A and B are shown apart, each in its own frame.
Chain A
Amino acid sequence: MADAPLLEIDGLEKHFEESSNVFDLLMRRDPAKIQAVDGVSFTLDRNDSIAVIGESGCGKTTLLLTLIGLHDITGGDVVYKGTPMSSFDSADWKEYRSNVQVIFQDPFNSLDPKMTVEESLKEPLEIHDVGNRDERVRQVLEDVELRPPEKYLKRKPMNLSGGEKQRVAIGRALVLEPDVILADEPVSMLDVSTQASVLRMLKGLIDDYDASMIYISHDLSTVSYISEVVNVMYLGRIVESAATSRLLEDPKHPYTEALVSAIPVPDPHYDRPRTEMSGAPRDPIDLGEGCRFRDRCPKVIPPDGIEVDQAAYREVMAFREALERDGLPLDRIRESLDDPGDRDAFAAAIHTEYFSAELSGENAATVESALEDVAGGDHETAIETLRERFESVCEITPRSIEDEDGWHVACHQYYDHDRQVTEDHAITTD
């Protein structure tokens, strides 16, 4: 049935500018751009329940705040029932705001401590001048299993437990019978035994109220209870999107793989290997082109024509990344030397810091030459030398591939370059 999608997120971008300080103004430096959301696209149809999963810093919260209109869009668009948000007038906003509701993570601050449960639940109804308020409030309290409703109407948040507060917050999101509910980690701050029941209730309510949900979380282990589709987010972009069960069983993107394999398995007999990943996601500032995961990806793709051990190549890429972004801690390394003027020692120290795997032949020679240049202060030559030999296809922003089952992944491993490379040499975001 070709119904227009409820919500279509199309290449959505939300960039912030780092606040400029006096020096930036004096030097006339442009403030750094924080690319919190950097090209996110997906569709939400009626009755869909979609999850956006990612670690802290991936931009999922910014995405949520942009979707509820608390941040202005800086690029791309959000289309609600055919009308793009960028061209909303105040009537459109009013309709959007009554039909798209949000549930936040922190039960302790989600309700105004000065308002009773009844007042908190009535507020959305008052804002949109909806009638039958007493009845609706009563119904919603029943629906969130706070029974009997009379017992809860006049209570204030300080007299409710965390689980009860969160139920009221959920009720508040439902009271206007919205089309879309956005939930930001709604159960992560609740006790484990409460989490399961609240999740179950939420899922049931989404069905009963005929609503759609976007569920945002960092926890992959509970997502199967609430969403059919999972979008995995990394540094502002969706890297993989698939049906939940398929994603958990057979993750395709190296980041998803790392995420899924790091989930603890509650079984002493199961020997789960610890993660191979090191470091943490970069700051989403001045990210440039290319795959955002390439500085940590265990499967980063070496160029054809050279032979190199994957672990060693991984280190070379990490080093190149730091060098190109001017992120090498050269001062610190230099200071730790006995003789800061000794270039050879300096080069060796940098080597020790970044390389533990063995490199041989031409690869080793190239790296050595680059290290000497760096020790001598000539970064540009070093960058060029390394790029010439080690440039990876991952430095081109990957296009998202889709298969018939609706599985999307943005990773060059799955991209048939022979076919595409002549056509789109300068591939940019999808």
Chain B
Amino acid sequence: MSDPLLEVEDLTIRYETDGGDLTAVSGASFSIDDGEFFGLAGESGSGKSTTAKAIIGGLDDNGRVDGGTIRYRGEEIQDFTEKQLNKELRWKEISWIPQSSMNSLDPLQRVSEQAAEIGRVHTDLSDAEIREKLKEMFDVVGLQESRIDDYPHQFSGGMQQRAIIALALFLEPSLVIADEPTTALDVIMQDQIFKYLDRMKDDAETSLLLITHDISVIFESCDSVAIMHASQIAERGSTTSVHDNPRHPYAFMFKEAFPDIREPDRDLEVIEGYPPELIGEVSACSFADRCPWAVEECRESAPPLDPVGDDDATHVASCFRADEAYELYEEHGATDPAAPEQGDD
């Protein structure tokens, strides 16, 4: 087994704000192998986007990595300077597909010109070679090769997103980070795009870090998943084991909140409350106030990410009641029969 392509270990990221140091990510750890599709799931405010941005050096000005490491091919990159990131990583090794295609392409430049610029800055390839590579990628994403010289406005919205994907892929990076790449798109277009991402995985063993709130897409298209809640990873493992045997209350309640077209009448789960904003050190389970099964221990210390003990050695969950929560949920729903009287509703 070769070393993982990307290894994030105990990562903590904070934002400086007027109200104090906001902890966006706390002690997050996960790894991605070659040719692996990894989904990072969670609601807004979970820290998933922040984690992804940190990998590529795209944190906002007031954000900083306060702890932990990010290793790419064994080398630590969390402290890389802009120069190093541009020279060694961006576009060539790790590329980024942003959420909204609207603002990502320069409307004044042809797509081929933007590719040329990227290629010139990050590689030693000749312009002709760059054009060839772009054409190949256009083909992969289903855009006509002869359109590489078009301007962005000549593409429709969905095609723009595909052009951006082509740009993200044409230098054959090993890791693609996609932040809600299909959220704004219709379901047929989303499927078209994932078809191309699948092809990329098969052809070039490219890895994908997919950030999204849509757990359905992750369960369908990813090999592994980590579910985050307010800076902490609640559960992590292969999509099969997290799907079949969820342990963390947030993980299974989140899963149950999504509709499944095969069961259109199933009642959708509702998770009360909001993810808290955390200042400073996180020393409790961030889900405790929303969790029907929280006990005192949950508010006293942050539960460690412990192995769940099933067939998947990588399957871990950070919950003190990981061995019983799901069973309680299945039997009694979102209440803890042993707990004292809950608040209204």
Chains A, B in direct contact (C-beta < 8 Å): yes
Q: A: which residues have CB within 8 A of B?
A: 55-56, 161, 191-193, 195-197, 199-200, 218-222, 224-225, 244-245, 248, 258-260, 262-270, 272, 274-275, 277-278, 280, 329, 332-333, 336, 353
**Do A267 and B220 touch (CB < 8 A)?**
yes
Residues of B near A200 (CB, < 8 A) are: 268, 270
Query: Main SS of chain B's interface residues?
Result: helix
- Given contact pairs A220-B261, A262-B187, A264-B220, enumerate 17 new A-B contacts (beta carbons under 8 Å): A55-B188, A56-B157, A193-B269, A200-B268, A221-B216, A224-B264, A224-B265, A225-B264, A244-B264, A259-B187, A264-B221, A265-B216, A266-B220, A268-B238, A268-B243, A277-B188, A329-B144
What residues make up the interface of B, taking CB atoms closer than 8 Å to A? 43-44, 142, 144, 146-147, 149, 156-159, 186-192, 194-195, 198, 213-217, 219-221, 238-240, 243, 253-255, 257-262, 264-265, 268-271, 274
| A residues in contact with B44, CB < 8 Å | 191
In contact, B264 and A277 (Cβ under 8 angstroms): no
Say whether, besides A245-B264, A274-B195, A275-B195, A268 and B219 are in contact (CB < 8 Å).
yes
CA separation between A262 and B239, bound complex, in Å?
20
In Å, the complex CA distance between A42 and B239 comes to 43
Query: Which of B195, B220, B254 is the one whose CB lies under 8 Å from A193?
Result: B254
In contact, A275 and B147 (Cβ under 8 angstroms): no
Q: A192 touching B261 by the CB < 8 A rule?
A: no
**Whole-angstrom CA separation of A55 from B192 in the bound complex:** 14
Interface centre among B44, B192, B213, B239 (most CB of A within 10 A): B192
- B residues less than 8 Å from A260 (CB atoms): 261
Q: Find chain B residues with CB under 8 A from A56 CB.
A: 157, 186
User: Contact: B194 with A269, CB < 8 Å?
Assistant: no
Contact B220–A259 (Cβ < 8 Å): no
Decide: B270 and A197 in contact? CB cutoff 8 A: yes
B146 and A336 contact, CB distance less than 8 A: yes
CB distance from A247 to the nearest CB of B (A): 10
Interface-centre pick from A248, A262, A266, A272 (highest chain B CB count, 10 A) = A266
Residue of B nearest to A218 (CB): B186
With A and B bound together, what is the CA distance between A259 and B194 in angstroms? Answer: 15
CA distance A199 to B269 in the complex (A): 12
Q: Which of A196, A225, A278 contacts B270 (CB 8 A)?
A: A196
Whether A275 contacts B192 in the complex (CB less than 8 A), given A268-B239, A268-B243, comes out as yes
Main secondary structure of the interface of A (DSSP, over half): loop
Q: A192-B254, A225-B268 are in contact. Are A274 and B198 (CB under 8 A)?
A: yes
**Docked complex Cα distance between A292 and B94 (Å):** 41
16 residue pairs bridging A and B, Cβ less than 8 Å apart: A56-B157, A192-B215, A193-B269, A199-B268, A200-B270, A221-B259, A225-B268, A245-B264, A258-B188, A268-B219, A268-B238, A268-B243, A269-B240, A274-B191, A275-B192, A280-B189
Q: Are B198 and A191 in contact (CB under 8 A)?
A: no
Cα–Cα distance between A268 and B255 once the two chains are bound (Å) = 13
Q: Is the CB of B270 within 8 A of A193?
A: yes
**Interface contact A266-B195, CB-CB below 8 Å:** no
Of A191, A192, A220, A245, the contact of B187 (CB 8 Å cutoff): A220
What chain A residues lie within 8 Å of B265 (beta carbons)? 224, 245
Question: What chain A residues lie within 8 Å of B157 (beta carbons)?
Answer: 56
> Given A192-B43, A333-B146, A266 and B159 touching (CB < 8 A)?
no
**B residues less than 8 Å from A329 (CB atoms):** 144, 146-147
Chain B nearest CB, measured from A244 CB (Å)? 7
Q: In the complex, A262 Cα to B215 Cα: how many Å?
A: 15
CB distance from B21 to the nearest CB of A (A): 23
- B219 lies within 8 A of A267 (CB): yes
- Contact across chains for B144 and A264 when beta carbons are under 8 A apart: no
**For the complex, what is the distance from the CA of A56 to the CA of B149, rounded to whole Å?**
26
Q: B188 contacts which chain A residues (CB < 8 A)?
A: 55, 258-259, 262, 275, 277
User: Is A274 in contact with B194, judged by CB distance below 8 angstroms?
Assistant: yes
Q: How far is the CA of A280 from the CA of B253 in the complex (A)?
A: 35
Q: Given A192-B43, A336-B146, A267 and B270 touching (CB < 8 A)?
A: no
Contacting residues, chain A, for B257 (C-beta < 8 A): 192-193, 195-196
Q: Do the beta carbons of B264 and A275 come within 8 Å of each other?
A: no
